[in-house]
Amino acid sequence: MTSARTVVFDLDGTLVDTAPDLINALNFVLEREGLSAVPFDAARNMIGAGARKLIERGLELDGRAVSPTDLARLTSDFIDHYAAHIADLSRPFEGLESALDDLAISGYRFAVCTNKLEWLSKLLLDQLGLSARFAAICGADTFGVSKPDPAILRQTVVRAGGQLSSSVMVGDAGPDIGVARRAGVPVIGVGFGYTDVPISDLKPDRLIHHLSELPAAVEALMLQRNSV
């Protein structure tokens, strides 16, 4: 039996607009330390490399560095606060469910490959009623590696029951483009996510600006793969 064609998604900034709850959690820990809150627009493009890196970037904006012990404490407190408020304001990007419906009808299965912790990813998708749509939900701790290490994408596809040769990656930032390139998988960039480098500059194979464009972009890349 041929493995199902698989679409692998990044989570933050690709499937779900998580910035409001992530930034609120960041500012919770910063303000508790007597530091300035990070403005939303500045913090939005700091998302995507995990909680610890988000806190480091927030501290850098205030000209602060902390010891590894303090950073671990802040990260733990951030995760606790974020988990308790993970879906207060976070919502799927417009058009997501219709796009997934269209692709599912065409026989695609779906997976999540994120640098978010796996349990937080599942908690978020559970609260948004989306978990059942994904054959695998894998985070930075699932296999012990993070994007752009290609092992996380390869193993996510395997866990979803797919094959790299019939998979497409969808993401919003450098780690997504990088992991796809290193794994030899075509990649669709979304223009509405979180990135400090314009997604167009990263040269994804396709660039979309609304999830209504996703099914056609996936089909085009899959046809291109099959014709090579």
Residue 63: what pLDDT?
86
Using pLDDT thresholds of 50, 70 and 90, give the confidence band for residue 3.
Answer: low
CATH number (domain holding residue 178): 3.40.50.1000
Side chain identity at residue 7, one-letter code: V
Q: Give yes or no: residues 98 and 30 share one domain.
A: no
Kindly report, residue by residue over 112-162, the tens digit of the pLDDT: 999 999 999 999 999 999 999 999 999 999 999 999 999 999 999 999 999
Q: Give yes or no: residues 138 and 76 share one domain.
A: no
pTM beyond 0.75: yes
Kindly report, residue by residue over 31-73, the tens digit of the pLDDT: 999 999 999 998 998 887 788 999 999 999 888 888 999 999 9
Given 84, 107, 130, the domain boundary residue is 84
CATH number (domain holding residue 61): 1.10.150.240
Q: Give yes or no: residues 174 and 117 share one domain.
A: yes
Q: Give yes or no: residues 23 and 11 share one domain.
A: no
Residue 228: what pLDDT?
58
Domain that holds residue 52: 19-84
Kindly report, residue by residue over 65-115, the tens digit of the pLDDT: 889 999 999 999 999 999 999 999 999 999 999 999 999 999 999 999 999
Given 84, 113, 133, the domain boundary residue is 84
| pLDDT higher than threshold 60 for residue 1 | no
Q: Give yes or no: residues 77 and 136 share one domain.
A: no
Annotation marks residue 80 as catalytic: no
| Domains identified in the chain, total number | 2
Give a yes or no: residue 1 inside a domain: no
Q: Give yes or no: residues 70 and 101 share one domain.
A: no
Beta pairing partners, 110 = 7
- Catalytic site residue from 10, 21, 172, 205: 10
Q: Give yes or no: residues 96 and 206 share one domain.
A: yes
Task: Quote the CA–CA distance of 154 and 101 in Å, as a whole number.
Answer: 24
Task: Quote the CA–CA distance of 210 and 215 in Å, as a whole number.
Answer: 11
